[in-house]
Structure 1
């Protein structure tokens, strides 16, 4: 912080983050900044800048997001001893656990505005939520790293994963589902409510993908009781952005891809001492068995609901459908 002209008072509070290192730092005039130190090797400077530029576009469109502070000549990424970091204004508020019915249309409009801006340009450096670079690489990391020692279990895991991958690709192609710039990790833990209203936080996973990725992690899907709430949300969303019912068929494949990508993320970070402490059961045979069973149940549900494949393409045993909640996908859901 001193290297970019501040004089910290010594008050430095670590904030909840395991991928990067984030601190609430007070400087000489008692102003507090959120300072984010990027994990070395995860993103290139160009990829981080593309995230920042997207945030500046959203800010300039008067959409309530937190954009990094530019101290000089538009610069928002700083470097100290080869460690990249950026600073944000501190905004206090609370992370919501449940979205009130009265807020659904407002949030729909807000996400619709974000996606409307996201559609205006394509990414140049950020990844794409596709099978080859996003999902298959995650599966290969798990397999090549020897994380599933039981070969029979590994085969079951891979077979179930490939059903999910194939379903996703076929849906994208069959319905010509567009890809565009999206938040990428749009769950309630990244939604802040303050006296000024709602703000979307943490665009660290910003990428190019289907807009549905930003829906299923934010809204309850899978049960008829939530249908009314979803309709309210989409009513607000469609005031600013396009949406087709066919696009929503991606929800279950996206859940499956999230399972695999999330497991690969933990495996990739396992040498970081914080990860074994946070995920003590990761890597055990019980862990992989549960992951495999979940993927197989999902594959069976896709078989029963999809008309994209003949029956003989699925050799999974029939399993009862299980409604999954968003809490199944986020270790830090409670805040």
Structure 2
């Protein structure tokens, strides 16, 4: 869900978006340029940031091919993602590591596109009300972080509160859909929320390599066995970044159950820094701001108006303002998650 400057998308707004050039024939040609043969046409999977397709080869093995959004990540940033996945796979952490050719390359080029192949991970999303699943998820993230702490990212982003708050505010305020009153309210609320987030920013020494986007769509499996997919947003962040999105319960008793099971599973591998629990609500607030910014900066991609037409409605911005204000008020209260 990482956002970037609207200038990049604006520059191609008057011309066909690059992804519109990604025809089925071009997808097949790209995959077959690596020595595969596809007996059928690839099947498009739900993905907006990149373009992702499922296919099977002539041996009936199932693969996922991901075409990276142009201008978003550098080759070095993508390669660092791939190398992290290879490191996790070697340590038997259940992830989908990218396929490499005979020369060891995992990032491939075809025409103007960069792409990678991954083995398909099948299964269903975990149930966050199920204690067994929660323990398994904590165990999975604990395994991930035990490896992640061995090194640092050099090229990937850092979860920088100040920079991301200011970037998100600027991007939303340049969007054309808010009324004058909504824009004034957004300026006021987002400024106050941003000040709260900056005041609770995490120190640089707390940052480790993380998946970065651990929501249910990126975790698949069966029973108590799960795997992580889509490391497209991996970055240097506090450890709690990979746990807080699984804390979905509205009532305190259920929320504490979720947290307890996650931490018990996590601590099969290493101690969790409990002080980071105070950053859960700031992280949620930051994500709320970044998500709206992500939507408006991607609007020149034809997939976005089709998938998110309500972004152009006043009602969406009214609800967004209410949500930001609720989060701002929540941050004024005592931290909910400290144990």
Question: TM-score when scaled to structure 2?
Answer: 0.83
- Aligned counterpart for 1:94 among listed residues 124, 135, 138: 124
Q: Does 1:68 align with 2:87?
A: no
1:228 CA drift (Å): 2.3
CA distance in 2: counterparts of 1:115 and 1:128, whole angstroms? 16
Relative contact order (alpha carbons < 8 A, sep ≥ 6): 1 or 2 greater? 2
Aligned positions of 1:313-328 closer than 5 A: none
CA distance in 2: counterparts of 1:219 and 1:239, whole angstroms? 19
Q: 1:20-68: per-residue Cα shift (whole Å, max 9, x none)? A: 1111122223322111111111111111111111111111111001100
Question: Counterpart in 1 of 2:28?
Answer: none
1:70 CA drift (Å): 0.8
The answer to which of 211-220 and 263-272 deviates more is: 211-220
- Aligned counterpart for 2:233 among listed residues 205, 216, 221: 205
CA contact (8 A) 1:123 1:181 kept: yes
Question: Counterpart in 2 of 1:108?
Answer: 138
Question: Counterpart in 1 of 2:294?
Answer: 265
Cα distance change on mapping 1:40 and 1:145 into 2, 3 Å: same
CA contact (8 A) 1:77 1:84 kept: yes
Structure 2: give runs of 5+ residues left out of the alignment.
1-30
- Aligned counterpart for 2:88 among listed residues 54, 58, 70: 58
CA contact (8 A) 1:96 1:189 kept: no
RMSD of equivalent CA atoms: 2.2
CA distance in 2: counterparts of 1:141 and 1:198, whole angstroms? 36
Q: 1:199-220: per-residue Cα shift (whole Å, max 9, x none)? A: 0111111111112221121222
CA distance in 1: counterparts of 2:207 and 2:321, whole angstroms? 29
- Aligned counterpart for 2:243 among listed residues 210, 215, 224: 215
Q: 1:75-115: per-residue Cα shift (whole Å, max 9, x none)? A: 10000002000001123222234452123222212101211
Question: TM-score when scaled to structure 1?
Answer: 0.84
1:165 CA drift (Å): 2.8
Q: 1:133-173: per-residue Cα shift (whole Å, max 9, x none)? A: 323212111113444341x4223223322333333332235
CA distance in 2: counterparts of 1:217 and 1:126, whole angstroms? 21
Segments of 4+ in structure 1 off by > 6 A? none
CA distance in 1: counterparts of 2:193 and 2:270, whole angstroms? 27
Aligned positions of 1:73-88 closer than 5 A: 73-88=103-118
CA distance in 2: counterparts of 1:300 and 1:224, whole angstroms? 18
Question: Counterpart in 1 of 2:279?
Answer: 250
Aligned positions of 1:8-157 closer than 5 A: 8-98=38-128, 100-150=130-180, 152-157=181-186
Question: Counterpart in 1 of 2:26?
Answer: none
The answer to which of 212-221 and 284-293 deviates more is: 212-221
CA contact (8 A) 2:138 2:265 kept: yes
CA distance in 1: counterparts of 2:38 and 2:67, whole angstroms? 16
CA distance in 1: counterparts of 2:153 and 2:188, whole angstroms? 32
CA distance in 2: counterparts of 1:241 and 1:162, whole angstroms? 37
Structure 1: give runs of 5+ residues left out of the alignment.
307-320, 322-335
CA contact (8 A) 1:112 1:238 kept: yes
Aligned positions of 1:222-233 closer than 5 A: 223-226=251-254, 227-233=256-262
Question: Counterpart in 2 of 1:190?
Answer: 218
Q: 1:286-309: per-residue Cα shift (whole Å, max 9, x none)? A: 211211111112111212337xxx
The answer to which of 23-32 and 267-276 deviates more is: 23-32
CA contact (8 A) 1:14 1:22 kept: yes
